[in-house]
Structure 1
Amino acid sequence: MSNVPAHSFAPRPLSVAAAGPLVGTVTVPGDKSISHRALMFASLAVGTSRIRGLLEGEDVLATAAAMRAMGATITRGDDGSWTVEGVGVGGLLQPETALDMGNSGTSTRLLMGLVASHAITATFVGDASLSKRPMARVTDPLARMGADFTTSPGPDGSGGRLPLTMRGLCPAVPITYTLPVASAQVKSAILLAGLNTPGITRVIEAVPTRDHTERMLRGFGADLTVEETAEGRVIAIAGEAELAPQEIDVPGDPSSAGFWMVAASIVPGSDVTIRNVLMNPTRTGLVTALRMMGASIEERDPRDVGGETVADLRVRHAPLSAIEVPAALAPSMIYEYPVLFVAAAFAHGTTVARGAHELRVKESDRIAAMAAALGLAGVAVTEHEDGLSIEGRDGEPLPGTGDVAVASLLDHRIAMSMAVAGMHSASPVRIDDAAPIATSYPAFVDTARALGATPQWVTA
């Protein structure tokens, strides 16, 4: 019998076709990266933290369940706020059962970092998609700190996959680790292990990645420094930390906002305002790329919320032109590439997006998945090892997929990106399973309808 849980949702096919302009104001879910970290750090603080605006998608709920299993008390109030009673750094308890991560790679990798410097054993399991994703980039540095891993084989016979059992070590060994590939998840896992490790744990990144872990840990009271050196950015954390409880307001997720940025840009006559979007400079690569293509994105009322910059974004339809996407933008928009590919499908000329090797090891192989999906919808696409070249249709609607459905591959971003493509398609774009959208944006379909789109759940 397989140890891999069944897919959390019954498959739900979705069909989307053009229905006129998108108009209105939306509030997107709380940022997923910040939501995960808020729950984890609050669980390690001594005292009561309160979190408002938490993303209540399946991925974040998996993090909440795991932290409860290791001793934290986490409750949701009637007003939608969350209260967390932490156990303190070093206070995590042995979970009684396997930690089910569902589809969440972020939960898995960051929680492995937490467990690594505690004298507990934890088994991580996930759905079919997550169980295919490699974990060696996290297990290797954590093993250097003293954690021990038993992993499952991947399709090629190599290890490093879920189900995975890890045995933490306390006290763990502080390390200095240079990231071989830009990855905020790997960086964060090592820093979280360093929280309960005597001495100084350092991570060196040649290319800056999203810095929510650094910002939030300092906000919780950790002794963390960031220094720019000739080697790159050096992040150092002093171990055996004491974290203080916080009041946290989670800003809107720029990855979720990206779907409406692209949708408003490609659908003629559209005018959409997206409220309270996180504008952390390590997360605004999609805004930069779309503006390079000619998108009309206006920032309104920029303001500071809990150490992060947020703004309201007004996005209006504009003709897009093809660009060569700078590879340097990859770390700041790695989750947004699928919907950027959709924008490129409507541009004038051929967009080339390279330097995004990381897309091969997300919830799906997002390069291959989007090449297949866009090709099925009538877009000329050339696949590269590290990205795509996309021949734009100069603003013309896509032909659509007819009676054939694109494969979402249990990947929420593939499903939502192709739903956006269908919003300017002559005939429907069909998606074989849009149920995974609930992992990050449960209200996506309802929000699309509120703006004027007409996505339809398909029944057998």
Structure 2
Amino acid sequence: MSSHGTPIPMTARKSGPLKGTAAVPGDKSISHRALIFGAMAVGETKITGLLEGEDVLDTAKAMQALGADVIREGAGEWTVHGVGVGGFTEPADVIDCGNSGTGVRLIMGAVATHDFCTTFTGDGSLRKRPMGRVTDPLALFGAQSVGRSEGRLPLTLIGAAEPVPVEYETPVPSAQVKSAVLLAGLNAPGQTVVIEKEMTRDHTERMLVGFGAELTTETTPDGYHKITLTGRPELTPQEVAVPRDPSSAAFPVCAALIVEGSEVFVPGVSQNTTRNGLYTTLVEMGADISFENPRTEGGEPVADLRVKYSQLKGIEVPSERAASMIDEFPVLSVVAAFAEGTTVMRGVKELRVKESDRIDAMARGLEACGVEIEEDHDTLIVHGRGSKGVKGGATCATHIDHRIAMSFLVMGLASDTPVTVDDGSPIATSFPVFEKLMAGLGAAITRNN
């Protein structure tokens, strides 16, 4: 049952060709960061194209609770009057981050080097997710944390009174962990260093530089990615234009690829190389996707995508690509079900600790819809049905996970019989206009109430 209120069962039925323009919302990762960095700058930051999903709105409320003035000026248009690095004040109440793992982990980093206590909580899904991967490196700065077993929420973080700079090598590829350490390093003296074996999405580094921080990146002799941040800068307010979210764009893109006769145009999608692994993979599978009008917006590379229905083939996705498409594996597994041959996805163990165990959730739903799968802790293998088609006909559990819900609804658009999800309400956390956008393309998705 959804912790967002009454569950909203939804059903997707086999649709005619999807046609039209899919103007997906702003990038969620960049939206979170724009609010946080705006709150840590001195002066007024103006944001356009902000994703107004529940996750991002919870981050906006958190910045207000920490002392920043955050104002919605219009649809997607926000101003943030920041308090400067080190200027946050102790919140009067618990900070509720809803469903957002990105929000809670970044905010933990931002307050870890402030001399006060902050208590965090979230919805039923977020309270199941491990926070030790963030609180452990934050402890190196001098922060202390007290939470439930395995560092789960609710959790109280006691910020370091006299923070020290840190050099930290991330044990797993995680942009959230990297970003939390860098955010903590902003209010620590000296230089904070993060070393990654595999480069993860780099929105934090790009935005820090844009706001005026002194930050350098380099590749070490052993091939690692090293980021060095000089602490206690005065961040300068910016005008941030948020590009459209490649993770949200994945759903209309993948739907167009598997619904016969479809052609969909998706404008202004981020093409950041640390985020575009899905699109590289789809092209390798034979997807007819053209990348038009490449340009830079808000410091991020973007392009317009034109996507046509395609006969796809199964491939092996290299494990080193996993970090650049970690949120897109659920919908990729749906596309793989309609491909000819087998698709092997390795290096995906991070999916076990997302909003749900996404490997298990997708495996069980795919099986229920007649697709043969194999899995282990770090691998998901989908045996595509190709011209045989996907049977469908199941009700799939979403486990309060927006991406699971949207992935199975995409599958239902091309399956022989309808596919139902037990609760579509979590979709609002990241893609509040999903139903309206998909309906505008001709998708047969309905609520069952």
* TM-score, normalised by the number of residues in structure 2: 0.98
Structure 1 residue 277 corresponds to structure 2 residue 269: yes
1:46-445 matches, within 5 Å, as 46-78=42-74, 80-153=76-149, 159-231=150-222, 232-401=224-393, 404-445=394-435
Cα distance, 1:395 vs structure 2: 4.1
1:219-238 Cα distance to aligned partner (Å, 9 max, x none):
00001110111241110111
Counterpart amino acid of residue 177 in structure 1: Y
Report if the CA contact (8 A) 1:9-1:436 is conserved: no
CA distance in 2, matches of 1:7, 1:48: 35
Counterpart amino acid of residue 206 in structure 1: K
Cα distance, 1:7 vs structure 2: 1.3
Structure 1 residue 450 corresponds to structure 2 residue 440: yes
Cα distance, 1:145 vs structure 2: 1.0
1:151-183 Cα distance to aligned partner (Å, 9 max, x none):
112xxxxx2100000100133111111111111
Cα distance, 1:202 vs structure 2: 0.2
CA distance in 2, matches of 1:79, 1:321: 40
Question: What is the number of equivalent residue pairs in this alignment?
Answer: 447
Report if the CA contact (8 A) 1:113-1:191 is conserved: yes
Report if the CA contact (8 A) 1:272-1:316 is conserved: yes
Report if the CA contact (8 A) 2:24-2:248 is conserved: yes
Counterpart amino acid of residue 207 in structure 1: E
* CA RMSD between the two structures: 1.0
For structure 2, the residue ranges without an aligned partner over 5 or more in a row are none
1:346-392 Cα distance to aligned partner (Å, 9 max, x none):
00011111111100000000000000111111111112211211110
- Aligned partner of 1:12 in structure 2 is 8
| DSSP-derived class of the 1:415 partner | helix
* TM-score, normalised by the number of residues in structure 1: 0.96
Cα distance, 1:87 vs structure 2: 0.5
Which ranges of 4 or more aligned residues in structure 1 deviate by more than 4 Å?
none
1:176-232 Cα distance to aligned partner (Å, 9 max, x none):
111111110000000000000000000000101000000000000001110111241
CA distance in 1, matches of 2:297, 2:76: 18
Counterpart amino acid of residue 356 in structure 2: S
| DSSP-derived class of the 1:47 partner | strand
CA distance in 2, matches of 1:372, 1:79: 38
Cα distance, 1:9 vs structure 2: 3.2
Counterpart amino acid of residue 332 in structure 1: S
1:129-159 Cα distance to aligned partner (Å, 9 max, x none):
0000001111100011100000112xxxxx2
Counterpart amino acid of residue 108 in structure 1: V
For structure 1, the residue ranges without an aligned partner over 5 or more in a row are 1-5, 154-158
Counterpart amino acid of residue 457 in structure 1: R
CA distance in 2, matches of 1:257, 1:59: 17
CA distance in 1, matches of 2:74, 2:96: 26
| DSSP-derived class of the 1:166 partner | strand
Identical residues among aligned pairs (%): 55
Counterpart amino acid of residue 217 in structure 2: V
Counterpart amino acid of residue 273 in structure 1: F
CA distance in 1, matches of 2:424, 2:75: 29
- Aligned partner of 1:3 in structure 2 is none
CA distance in 2, matches of 1:414, 1:312: 25
Cα distance, 1:397 vs structure 2: 3.3
1:278-312 Cα distance to aligned partner (Å, 9 max, x none):
00111100001101100011001001112111110
Report if the CA contact (8 A) 1:266-1:395 is conserved: no
